[in-house]
Amino acid sequence: MAETRKDSLAVYVHWPFCLSKCPYCDFNSHVRDSVDDARWRRALCLEIDYWAEQTPGRHVGSIFFGGGTPSLMAPETVAAVIERIGMKWSLDAAAEITLEANPTSAEAARFAAFREAGVNRLSLGVQALDDTALKFLGRQHDANEARAALDLARRIFPRFSFDLIYARPEQSAAAWRQELSTALDMAAGHVSLYQLTIEKGTPFYTRQRDGEINPPGEAHAADLFDITNALAATAGYSAYEISNYAKPAHASRHNLAYWRYQDYAGIGPGAHGRLRTAENGARALRQHAKPETWLEAVERVGHGSAEARPLEPTEQAEEMLMMGLRLHEGINLVFFTERTGLTLEQAIRPGALTRLGDGGLLSHDGQNLRATDKGRNVLNSLLSELFA
């Protein structure tokens, strides 16, 4: 797996706008008639200045444009942000710069410009290769557009990935097997395969409550997950994280920074950060979520920070376990203690390690703690067992 420098920083940039809201999405996304590109460009750059001042001299190992729909950004804005990051921090020559994109033809038309701006990895929100499913998911593209966008991405970007959502209502094992096989044939080293999660506050939540849609039960969902891992493995993709599959050296460096609990700065509305500085120690950071609130705050005071809270060692330990156990590689315990100041035994409930180890859910070899395949399948309950 790609090694990163210890003082390396990951920078997340949030673009909060979408053309329409998907019924499963509970992300910080907003639909607006028009967006003042120049104004937003200035604000994003101002906030970069602010966070860079807080963390001087750090090397940025990755940038990730997420959203919302960052492929709706003006390529000039993307270019300006990348340039500013390079100017205020130092940007590694090999930095991974990812942009999330929708596969509609309109957005695909900008791919070349994004590449020009410095983006070297595209993450396409394909979600399904079936028109009925795409419609159900509220997507604006169809399967043909998705294929075309993937072909284009392959030609333009050194690396690309795409997302699929499975365990959809009424999705049979056979249908998913078919869809996933097709998808893996089109992949180029990395895919994110998410089970549909119905979140509170989304239209799907209401429809599920009213009995209109019935996502698969636990047993079927578990079967689909097993199929996914088996097919991916056959195609040479290993599940390096619960929903992320990569060929060797294709894992997302940026996302690994989250899961390895390295520092990241969040730029833009609703972005979160975890930063350690000599001055403030480890802090959890959160920016104003509403686009207009964030924008006005940045213009007024230079940043849109809504919360900057010191993290206790135990909180850091919990977060690190929460994230690290999602990874196949698990957690390096030396790094764990360095990072949190706690030994593993201090951080978790007495007896839990033995219980979960004996039950075949955790493995612990003295150097690394990792969740087994079985353990990762039930990680939420495992974590609650570990901490409570």
Q: Min. distance of Cβ 80 from another protein in angstroms?
A: 22
Q: Are 340 and 317 in contact (CB under 8 A)?
A: yes
Using the minimum distance from each CB to another protein, give the nearer residue, 72 or 327.
327
Give the burial class of 267: count Cβ atoms within 10 A of its Cβ; 0-12 exposed, 13-18 middle, 19 or more buried.
Answer: buried
197 touches another protein by CB under 8 A: yes
Q: How many amino acids of this chain bind another protein (CB under 8 A)?
A: 49
Q: Return the ∠ at Cα 120 (arms to 119 and 121), rounded to 5°.
A: 100
Q: Which of 182, 186, 194, 202 binds another protein (CB under 8 A)?
A: 194
Q: Is 368 in the site for another protein (CB under 8 A)?
A: no
Considering beta carbons, is residue 82 or 323 the nearer one to another protein? 323
| 113 belongs to the binding site for another protein (CB under 8 A) | no
Place of tokens 């100041």: 341
Residue 177 near another protein by CB under 8 A: no
Buried (b) or exposed (e) across 173-207, using 16+ Cβ within 10 A?
eeebeebbeebbebbbbbbbbebbebeeebebbee
Q: CB within 8 A of 45, min separation 6: which ones?
A: 80, 81, 84
274 binds another protein (CB under 8 A): yes
Site for another protein in 287-346 (CB under 8 A): 315, 318-319, 322-323, 326
Q: How far is the CB of 58 from another protein (least distance, A)?
A: 16
Q: Does 385 bind another protein (CB under 8 A)?
A: yes
Residues between 127 and 156 with contacts to another protein, criterion CB under 8 A: none
Give the interface segment with another protein, choosing from 31-39, 52-60, 131-139, 264-272 (CB under 8 A).
Answer: 264-272
Site for another protein, residues 206 to 235, rule: CB under 8 A: 218-219, 221-222, 225
User: How crowded is residue 87: how many other Cβ atoms within 10 Å of its Cβ?
Assistant: 13
Please tell me whether residue 280 binds another protein under the rule CB under 8 A. no
251 by Cβ neighbours in 10 Å (0-12 / 13-18 / 19+) ranks as buried
Q: Which stretch binds another protein (CB under 8 A): 33-41, 115-123, 191-199, 200-208?
A: 191-199
CA angle 26, 203, 162 (to 5 degrees): 50
The residues, ordered by sequence, that sit 6+ positions from 184 with a Cβ below 8 Å of its Cβ are: 191, 231, 232, 235, 237
**C-alpha separations of 279 from 56, 267, 276, 310 in Å:** 11, 20, 8, 11
363 binds another protein (CB under 8 A): no
| Positions that interact with another protein (CB under 8 A) | 10, 12, 28, 66, 194-197, 218-219, 221-222, 225, 242-243, 255, 258, 264, 266, 270-274, 284, 286, 315, 318-319, 322-323, 326, 355-356, 358-359, 361, 376-385, 387-388
